[in-house]
Amino acid sequence: MVTEFHLPKVAEGGGTGTVARVLVSPGKEISSGATVVEVETEKTVVEVPSSVGGVVKDVFVKPGDEVSDDSVIFTVETAEEATGSTAPGPTMLEPERPETAPEEAPVSGAAERAPEPETPATNPQTLSAQTPSTAARPQSEAAVPAGGRLVVPAAPSVRRLARELGVEIKDVPGTGSEGRISQDDVKAYAKSLVSGASARGALAALTLPDFSRFGPIERHPISPVRRATAEHLGRSWPLVPQVTQYDEADVTALEAFRRRFGPSVEAQGGKLTVTAILVKVLAWALGVYPKFNTSLDLERGELVQKGYRHIGVAVDTERGLLVPVLRDADKKSLVQISVELKAIAERARAAKLSREEMEGGSISISNLGGIGGVGFSPIVNAPEVAILGVSRTQVRPVFEGDALARREFLPLALSYDHRVIDGAEAARFLRKVAEALEEPLLMSLEG
């Protein structure tokens, strides 16, 4: 019998991904549990194992294809059980929908009862996007229950635009006949979310000119990692009032320390980098200034104080920027941090990070010193309230008495959420970090 293999959920909350590699081909025999496809999601590459065994008949995807939960990846011929019982018949491939076909979204209690209509007044974001004619439109006209599923009247091209803008198509009020949703409706709804500083923060797209009028162009698809980065930072910038505080630390003694003990750390499997030292320093500084280890919950009107100190570290990869999180840095030695940081950076560049390894940070570090530059303003990695930017160490002559001495200075930039952190607090925090880099024993002295 022929059985279809459907893509399981590859990311928390579901969604789409891009096929990175296909490891099966027609005629190939596979066993249950074998990796059959690799899917690149927003944060990582997921190896998908097969839940069926047999001989592959047809493969329906190729590298670069966008897939979603439950997409049919391939079919496989399996033998019926010896007892004569048969497995459930194959799920028929859904025929390609015409451009005018509506999208269906699951509704709770599909078979037993029709969904209860939403009360528009409970969603201020939707109300802000509705026109007087659409705000009062009954849901039965905009989204009609059919066969236990919610039918959203929108063409595939409109749904594709909604996905690109990070908009839930079912939330968009349609202005067309019988509530049909157009591309203009999606753009207007996305724009209203941004202008209203929505916490969901879907982004309006910038209308571009036809660049081909000016000369030859090429178009390249955006990777899921780059798309996720753009959406996340695009939400953070307009929603979080950010200020950057600058300082520098005299790290002449610290660099001598790194040169002296670096080989010992490397022998234990780590690398004594400035970033590793900053992870330790920031974890300590969060204990001195706990407000920097919080997140703002505007919906509840509360400030969430975290009882842990997890440090996110930005890693530059071929797929885009990833920020794995080193947990409980305050409880680990500098050698442990160096070893763990090296390992987690290698997993990031190999696309082997799990979603859990990139969640739950207290504060983040972005170190561009290895590339160059004299300073930059990093964007706060919301819902964190601060991020530390580090640039290349600079060597300068400094007067010590009447004589000139060679000193090394590390440029520091602290961007912070001004809703939570005041300027004076940010200046004190950054100065404390600089002092700890200049006098490492300060951490032991102050605890």
Q: 281 and 365 share a domain?
A: yes
Q: 45 and 164 share a domain?
A: no
Overall average pLDDT of the 101-114 stretch: 40
Q: State the pLDDT confidence band at 167, using cuts at 50, 70 and 90.
A: confident
418: annotated active-site residue = yes
pLDDT value at 5 more than 80: yes
Please report, in angstroms and rounded to a whole number, the separation of the first and last CA atoms in the chain. 68
Q: State the pLDDT confidence band at 165, using cuts at 50, 70 and 90.
A: confident
- pLDDT value, residue 379: 94
Q: 167 near 181, Cβ under 8 Å?
A: no
Question: Could you give the CA distance from residue 277 to residue 135 in angstroms, rounded to a whole number?
Answer: 55
- pLDDT value, residue 79: 65
Question: Could you give the CA distance from residue 168 to residue 143 in angstroms, rounded to a whole number?
Answer: 13
pLDDT in tens, 173-229: 998 887 889 988 988 887 777 655 444 444 445 678 889 999 999 988 877 777 777
pLDDT in tens, 420-446: 999 999 999 999 999 999 998 888 777
Q: 177 and 297 share a domain?
A: no
Q: 388 and 247 share a domain?
A: yes
C-alpha to C-alpha distances, 87 to 1, 4, 49, 158, nearest whole angstrom = 9, 12, 20, 38
Q: 354 and 433 share a domain?
A: yes
Q: 436 and 337 share a domain?
A: yes
Contacts of 439 (CB under 8 A, 6+ apart): none
pLDDT value at 255 more than 60: yes
Domain of 260? Answer: 242-446
Strand partners, 320: 317
Residues 62/66/69/70 CA torsion (nearest 10 deg) = -40
Pairing of strands 149-152, 144-146: antiparallel
Which of 56, 77, 98 is the last residue in one of the domains? 77
Helix, strand, coil share (%) of the chain residues, nearest 5: 30, 25, 40
- pLDDT value, residue 196: 56
- Residue 26 inside a domain? The answer is yes
Question: Could you give the CA distance from residue 149 to residue 106 in angstroms, rounded to a whole number?
Answer: 5
- pLDDT value, residue 93: 36
pLDDT in tens, 85-104: 444 433 333 333 444 444 44
Strand partners, 42: none
- Residue 217 inside a domain? The answer is no
Question: Could you give the CA distance from residue 19 to residue 65 in angstroms, rounded to a whole number?
Answer: 5
pTM exceeds cut of 0.75: no
Q: Which residues of 393-405 are buried (b: 16+ CB within 10 A; e: fewer)?
A: beeeeeeeeeeee
The SS3 assignment for 71 reads: coil
Whichever domain contains 23, its CATH number is 2.40.50.100
Q: 433 near 282, Cβ under 8 Å?
A: yes
- Residue 16 inside a domain? The answer is yes
Q: 155 and 33 share a domain?
A: no
Choice among 6, 220, 232, 418 that is catalytic: 418
Which of 77, 107, 122 is the last residue in one of the domains? 77
Within 10 angstroms of residue 47's Cβ, the number of other Cβ atoms is 14
- Residue 120 inside a domain? The answer is no
Q: 370 and 414 share a domain?
A: yes
Q: Which helix (H) or strand (E) holds 126?
A: helix 124-129
Q: 414 near 423, Cβ under 8 Å?
A: no
Domain count within the chain: 3
pLDDT value at 285 more than 90: yes
Whichever domain contains 326, its CATH number is 3.30.559.10
- Residue 435 inside a domain? The answer is yes
Whichever domain contains 195, its CATH number is 4.10.320.10
Q: 249 and 392 share a domain?
A: yes
Helices 252-267 & 423-438, crossing angle to 10 degrees? 70
Q: 319 and 377 share a domain?
A: yes
Q: 261 and 387 share a domain?
A: yes
- Residue 130 inside a domain? The answer is no
Closest to 428 measured CA to CA, from 290, 331, 311, 250: 290
User: pLDDT higher for 298 or 86?
Assistant: 298
Q: 196 and 275 share a domain?
A: no
